[in-house]
């Protein structure tokens, strides 16, 4: 994944992401080459269904999915794959906890799955991952008629993917069908070192970067991810009365910026435009949101969005979001080591409900010393081991 160009920024709390290094990433980001593979199949844009699936006779992705053994590896060679229908990894085609089935970019190459042939429809997703214990690695999924990647299975790892220019949320977790019981809602999925941007739905009010909403189970984690320039929110953890509470979600060491405005400047008044939207319909869910950055989103940076639960909101920094950097009107959330800064724009004072102490610095019309200690331009990239590297003024702030 290529580094993004720097964007204008005036401050960040140094050390917000200082714990990016360490064993957490090492445990979560083992390279797919290390996976136990009962079978290896190769896919290329020119492959055919009946081909053997060797390097010299590559097959197609849909054929490889139907043939791969549990714990095996499918390698996608570089190039553009053009699709007009959803690629589904079906329920029951599972790997195991000790040997995930892997769908990976061939080392050193960049496969792009382009679904622009699809019409705009809720049934026209790009990749639909309904199986358990899979590992998706190094893919770009774009221009789908709905979500770029939809995860309905559990215990999956989605790593170093890009979802862009899709006609609903780039990467979303949710139940496989309306008949799926809550006990089988997707759980324990890890979305790591991934990027989602420029997703736009026809109404301009649904396409987020990442979402775990409506019908998701427990244990889902987003780590070292970047969501930017989506028409709606960077992250959406929305709940509604019809389906009830979702399981608590963890978002950590991640970056959300520019949401509500596409890269080309397109905006839509219907979009919510938050960095991190954490609820809905007054349903309490105790999410964990820590070591994250919200920068210049079109509404709030971090918002409870009517979630009255006891969320853990810690070690976050929120800068120059249009309305509030932190917006928590009710609830019993616990805030620690959070920093709110304003430099380039005016905005409303933060609203906090719950437990806060002197480690927090919220916006009340003035900058504090920690806000004014750092200046420069913000940039980011993913390191070779999967960590999100954030720089300010050319200096790395998360060694």
Residues classed as catalytic? 277
State how far the Cα of 69 lies from the Cα of 215, in Å rounded to an integer.
29
Query: What's the Rg (C-alpha) of the chain?
Result: 20
Query: Which one, of 276, 153, 157, lies nearest residue 226 by Cα?
Result: 276
* Spatial distance between the Cα atoms of 178 and 183, rounded to a whole number of angstroms: 13
CB 120 within 8 A of CB 202: yes
Half-sphere exposure of 390 (CA within 13 A, CB side): 32
- Token output for 92: 């029951």
Question: For residue 119, with 0-12 CB atoms within 10 Å meaning exposed, 13-18 middle and 19 or more buried, which class applies?
Answer: exposed
Q: Which residues contact 46 (CB under 8 A, 6 or more apart)?
A: 58
115 Cβ contact partners less than 8 Å away, ≥ 6 residues apart: 83, 84, 124, 126, 141, 142, 143, 144, 145, 148, 166
Angle at 256 between CA 6 and CA 207, to 5 degrees: 115
- Cα separation, 209 vs 193, in Å, equals 13
Q: What DSSP string runs through 311-331?
A: -EEES-EEE--SS-SEE--SS
| Secondary structure class of 2 (helix, strand, coil) | coil
- Dist. CA 70–CA 351, nearest whole Å: 50
**Which sign, positive or negative, has the C-alpha torsion 56, 143, 199, 181?**
negative
């Amino acid at each position: 994944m290529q580094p993004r160009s720097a964007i204008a920024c005036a401050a960040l709390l140094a050390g917000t992401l200082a714990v990016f290094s360490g064993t957490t990433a090492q445990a979560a980001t083992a390279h797919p080459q290390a996976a136990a593979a009962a079978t290896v199949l190769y896919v290329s844009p020119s492959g055919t269904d009946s081909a053997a699936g060797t390097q010299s006779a590559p097959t197609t992705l849909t054929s490889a999915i139907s043939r791969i053994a549990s714990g095996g590896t499918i390698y996608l060679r570089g190039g553009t794959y053009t699709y007009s229908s959803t690629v589904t990894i079906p329920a029951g085609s599972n790997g195991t906890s000790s040997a995930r089935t892997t769908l990976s970019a061939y080392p050193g190459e960049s496969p792009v799955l382009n679904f622009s042939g699809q019409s705009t429809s809720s049934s026209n997703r790009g990749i639909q991952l309904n199986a358990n214990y899979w590992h998706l690695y190094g893919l770009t999924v774009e221009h789908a008629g709905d979500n770029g990647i939809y995860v309905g299975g559990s215990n999956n790892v989605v790593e170093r993917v890009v979802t862009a220019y899709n006609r609903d949320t780039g990467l979303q977790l949710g139940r496989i069908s309306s008949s799926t019981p809550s006990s089988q809602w997707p759980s324990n999925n890890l979305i790591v070192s991934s990027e989602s941007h420029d997703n736009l739905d026809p109404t301009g009010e649904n396409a987020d970067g990442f979402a775990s909403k409506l019908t998701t189970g427990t244990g889902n984690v987003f780590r070292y991810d970047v969501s930017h320039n989506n028409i709606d929110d960077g992250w959406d953890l929305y709940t509604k009365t019809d389906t009830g509470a979702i399981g608590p979600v963890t978002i950590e060491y991640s970056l959300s910026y520019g949401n509500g405005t596409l890269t080309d400047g397109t905006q839509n008044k219907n979009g919510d435009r938050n960095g991190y939207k954490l609820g809905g319909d007054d349903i309490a869910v105790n999410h964990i949101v820590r070591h994250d950055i919200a920068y210049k989103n079109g509404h709030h940076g971090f918002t409870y969005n009517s979630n009255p639960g006891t969320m853990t909101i810690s070690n976050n920094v929120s800068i120059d979001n249009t309305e509030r950097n932190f917006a928590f009107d009710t609830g019993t959330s616990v805030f620690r080591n959070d920093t709110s800064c304003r430099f380039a724009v005016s905005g409303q004072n933060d609203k906090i409900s719950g437990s806060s102490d002197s480690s927090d610095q919220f916006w009340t019309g003035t900058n504090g010393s920690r806000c004014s200690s750092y200046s420069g331009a913000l940039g980011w990239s993913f390191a070779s081991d999967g960590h999100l590297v954030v720089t300010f003024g050319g200096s790395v702030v998360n060694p």
